[in-house]
């Protein structure tokens, strides 16, 4: 018999906050608002029904999201980070969290004026 601990409410909340951060702080830099709306309708980064929510799985999802965010936030898009990025995308997808983006999707930033005016920057609606 194997004992499995369920994820905590705090972990689930942290996952939601990281997803919200991706939608409000990262996606507006690289994608147009219409594309981001499409991501919402496709449940991008929303844990699927296959996500069982154990303590270990929640930690792995949190770590995967944090790592991807760190790479994208710090403009650390250098070739040595692509392997780490891809590894963490794979981790998310193993736990049913859809992230159908490749490293190259984050090469070119949009105009900063578009980012500042984004409805996602001001108010992330995804999880509300």
pLDDT for 68: 95
Decide if pLDDT at 114 tops 60.
Answer: no
Decide if pLDDT at 13 tops 60.
Answer: yes
Q: Work out the percent of the chain whose per-residue pLDDT is above 70.
A: 74
Decide if pLDDT at 117 tops 90.
Answer: no
pTM: predicted TM-score of the whole model, two decimal places? 0.79
Q: Which of 31-35, 69-73, 77-81 has the lowest mean pLDDT?
A: 77-81
pLDDT band for 80, please (50, 70, 90 cuts).
confident
Separation between Cα atoms, residue 16 and residue 76, nearest integer Å: 24
pLDDT for 53: 75
Separation between Cα atoms, residue 106 and residue 58, nearest integer Å: 25
Q: 111 or 23: which carries more pLDDT confidence?
A: 23
Average pLDDT value for residue range 23-48:
91
Q: 121 or 10: which carries more pLDDT confidence?
A: 10
pLDDT band for 59, please (50, 70, 90 cuts).
very high
Separation between Cα atoms, residue 39 and residue 72, nearest integer Å: 18
What value, to the nearest 5°, has the Cα angle with vertex 124 and ends 15 and 50?
A: 35
* Residues 34, 83 contacting (CB under 8 angstroms): no
């Amino acid at each position: 018999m194997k004992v499995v601990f369920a994820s905590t409410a705090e972990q689930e909340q942290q996952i939601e906050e990281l997803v919200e951060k991706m939608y409000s702080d990262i996606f507006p830099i690289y994608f147009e608002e219409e594309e981001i709306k499409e991501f919402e309708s496709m449940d991008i980064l929303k844990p699927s029904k296959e996500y069982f929510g154990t303590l270990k799985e929640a930690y792995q999802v949190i770590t995967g999201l944090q790592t991807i965010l760190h790479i994208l936030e710090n403009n650390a898009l250098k070739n040595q980070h692509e392997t780490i990025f891809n590894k963490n995308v794979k981790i998310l997808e193993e736990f049913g969290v859809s992230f159908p983006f490749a490293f190259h999707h984050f090469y070119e930033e949009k105009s900063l004026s578009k980012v500042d005016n984004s409805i996602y920057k001001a108010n992330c609606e995804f999880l509300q």
